[in-house]
């Protein structure tokens, strides 16, 4: 993660427990911008809509997919999204419709249209399936990488729109 300031584009990745999909997206996106030398352009974080996993590390399946890609998630601890996150972040990226409903409830609405499903940036209304239930981290990884690449492309096309 980079230091948050007024010149960065601030993105919060959100899923139910903050141990599978949102950390996978966070660390993949962080690696993506690092490889492009754009880390100073972003402040990145992840959170949960629930309290069930607070304090826990990333799920072993998420850790394994990231490890296979040469990406570390060392030190990750699940935390819950807070209402104040709406004012802090330019993008609040949920993984499925249930996340979006819960995120909107937590923030008290979405008047600035900041809350999005990850795969919408790749032109899809599909959910990123929760591997906690499916056990299929490969499909989740493919969705996360597709969505994160599309999100970065959108931002790079018009970065000043999100500051």
Which contiguous run of DSSP H or E holds residue 33?
helix 21-35
What angle in degrees, to the nearest 10, is found between the helix axes of 137-157 and 21-35? 50
Which contiguous run of DSSP H or E holds residue 141?
helix 137-157
3-state secondary structure at position 46: strand
Q: Are strands 91-94 and 9-15 parallel, antiparallel or unpaired?
A: parallel
Cβ 52 vs Cβ 59: under 8 Å? no
Structure tokens given for 43: 């402040």
Cβ 79 vs Cβ 151: under 8 Å? no
The catalytic residue positions are: 15, 21, 130
Largest CA distance in the chain: 39
């Amino acid at each position: 993660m980079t230091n948050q300031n007024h010149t960065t584009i601030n993105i919060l990745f959100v899923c139910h427990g903050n141990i599978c999909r949102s950390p996978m997206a966070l660390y993949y996106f962080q690696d993506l911008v690092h490889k492009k030398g754009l880390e100073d352009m972003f402040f990145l974080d992840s959170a949960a809509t629930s309290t069930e996993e607070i304090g826990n590390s990333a799920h072993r399946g998420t850790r394994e997919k990231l490890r296979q890609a040469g990406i570390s998630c060392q030190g990750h601890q699940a935390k819950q999204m807070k209402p104040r996150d709406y004012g802090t972040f330019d993008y609040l990226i949920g993984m499925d419709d249930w996340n979006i409903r819960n995120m909107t409830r937590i923030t008290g609405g979405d008047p600035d249209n900041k809350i999005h499903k990850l795969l919408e940036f790749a032109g899809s209304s599909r959910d990123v399936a929760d591997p906690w239930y499916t056990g299929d981290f490969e499909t989740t990884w493919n969705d996360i990488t597709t969505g994160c690449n599309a999100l970065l492309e959108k931002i790079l096309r018009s970065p000043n729109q999100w500051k």
